[in-house]
Structure 1
Amino acid sequence: MTVARRSLLMVMALCVVLTAPVRASAEGVLIFAAASLKTALDQIAADYSDKTGGEVTVSYAASSVLARQIQLGAPADLFISANVQWMDVLVRDGLVDASSRVDLLGNYLVLIGVPAQAEAQIDAALDLNARLDGGFLAMALVDAVPAGIYGKSALQELGLWADVEGRIAQADNVRAALALVATGAAPLGIVYGSDALAESRVSVIGVFPSDSHPPIIYPAAATRNADPQAFAFLTYLQTDTARAVFEAQGFTLPQS
């Protein structure tokens, strides 16, 4: 194993530890939220607590990990997924209150690198292998985590997947993929636009065409046995105050 490969694996392992979900037993509302929401949702939860006195604890990880934890009985009050499929699974299983479900946010997909990287148009003519220069393309798990699923879909649609399939550094969630690029362990990565905005050590090289992948939608819903306060917080997430924070952090809002 080369030194570069060993270093990459060590950083990925550290990212898993730092971003793993926390099983909390705090008073108040426990939110399970997609890792890409962290910067915005931390601020919104703090603002909500200041205004209402209600305590909010947020556990972040990949939507797939959180959904499986809920299936195993984790005591979440509210689930915010980065794609509709994992929410659909919990609705099918009767583990969320389907009547509370809302399409909360949207996002977009970007290719990132260090600030010195030149911008590029993301299309079928892009030579990703040349850009990688022997390194790896950081992505969330391409068959389980929403950001990875969207990224793989976009690369396949543009005819780029076959060229880089063997050069993918898969991370447990999108923030872990972001960290691989930010720390220099990977030269390029595919993340959400909101993630790129949250990390000053990376820059956006290009934006993937919106028609190259399924629409990126963040559904939110209270769980079957949610604390009543969860419904109040879900309502707060849809206020102009909360939406302004989401927009400032790069998320898009659903069309009214």
Structure 2
Amino acid sequence: MRLLLALCLVLFATRPAAEEITVFAAASLQTALDPIAESYAARTNDEIRISYAGSSALARQIEYGAPADIFVSANSDWMDLLDERGLLAPGTRRDLLSNRLVLIGARDAEPVDIGPDLALAELLGEGRLAMALVDAVPAGIYGKAALTSLGLWPEVAPRVAQADNVRSALALVAAGEAPLGIVYATDAMADPRVATLGVFPDESHPMIVYPAAATADASPAALAFLDALSGPEAATRFEAAGFTVLPR
């Protein structure tokens, strides 16, 4: 009995203490990132806490002192802001993923060819076009850029229903509150209530890039999780969710 107790005490003493790692991540990452974090936590005993929102809101929270260890943005601009403020750990930033921009609608809606001749305003009927905030959230910024490039923005701008993040825009279409929406391809895959009606040409908007970095105060445990996000297991899960994994 004493020997068993001694062994238990040794095992307890040698097991690494659990670390809490706080991740701020773009809302579009949730489907892939949740299982990655769960698998990593089970393997390491660390606790991964993830806060999902629009990249703009998350970046501002970090700027104002929110305690995040890792930030994964849906565009480079908001990561650049934190970099300029000296809020990132040097040498930890890397471009992690890419995505595509799509037009979504109800499951029974007809596919369309997205180009300058798309009668988008007519397709909306009396409804609105669901988008993330077009001047702040990356999905909205990309969407506005694409519509502007194709010459479609002026006629639909007054008809846009702006949401706090891309998953909220997805929810508007999924719930039938908006007939059409612009989201990432991965978002469309995540909800069976919507269908992808068309893919925006890559040249119609800046390349969609998800940079990731540790914050200046991140712990060694957070750095290890950041490295895991660039590893083969995470890559498999990201690709299964529809993302393109970028080479390091």
Alpha-carbon distance in 2 for matches of 1:224, 1:97: 4
Encode CA deviations 1:32-67: one digit per residue, 9 max, x unaligned.
Answer: 000000111001000101111111000000000000
Q: 2:19·2:46 contact (CA, 8 Å) conserved in 1?
A: no
Query: 1:27: Cα distance to partner?
Result: 5.5
Alpha-carbon distance in 2 for matches of 1:176, 1:241: 28
Alpha-carbon distance in 1 for matches of 2:116, 2:169: 23
Partner of 2:91: 99
User: The residue matched to 2:68 in structure 1 has which SS?
Assistant: coil
User: The residue matched to 1:98 in structure 2 has which SS?
Assistant: coil
Of 188, 194, 202, 1:202 maps to 194
Of 45, 52, 59, 1:60 maps to 52
Partner of 2:177: 185
In the TM superposition, what are the counterparts of 1:15-30 in structure 2 within 5 Å?
28-30=20-22
Structure 1 portions without partners, runs of 5+: 1-25
User: The residue matched to 2:244 in structure 1 has which SS?
Assistant: coil
Encode CA deviations 1:52-85: one digit per residue, 9 max, x unaligned.
Answer: 1111000000000000000110000000000000
Query: 1:98: Cα distance to partner?
Result: 3.4
Partner of 2:24: 32
User: The residue matched to 2:116 in structure 1 has which SS?
Assistant: coil
Please tell me whether Structure 1 or Structure 2 has the larger radius of gyration of its CA atoms. 2
Structure 1 length as normaliser, TM-score? 0.89
Encode CA deviations 1:100-153: one digit per residue, 9 max, x unaligned.
Answer: 000000000000000111001100010011110110000000000000000000
Q: Percent identity?
A: 58
Please tell me whether residue 89 in structure 1 is matched to residue 68 in structure 2: no
Q: 2:99·2:186 contact (CA, 8 Å) conserved in 1?
A: yes
Query: 1:160: Cα distance to partner?
Result: 0.4
Of 100, 107, 110, 1:108 maps to 100
Of 147, 166, 170, 1:155 maps to 147
Q: How well do the aligned residues superpose, as a CA RMSD in angstroms?
A: 1.1
Structure 2 portions without partners, runs of 5+: 1-17
In the TM superposition, what are the counterparts of 1:45-56 in structure 2 within 5 Å?
45-56=37-48
Q: What amino acid is the match of 2:240? A: A
User: The residue matched to 1:184 in structure 2 has which SS?
Assistant: coil
Partner of 2:10: none
Structure 2 length as normaliser, TM-score? 0.92
Of 68, 77, 98, 1:76 maps to 68
Q: 2:130·2:161 contact (CA, 8 Å) conserved in 1?
A: yes
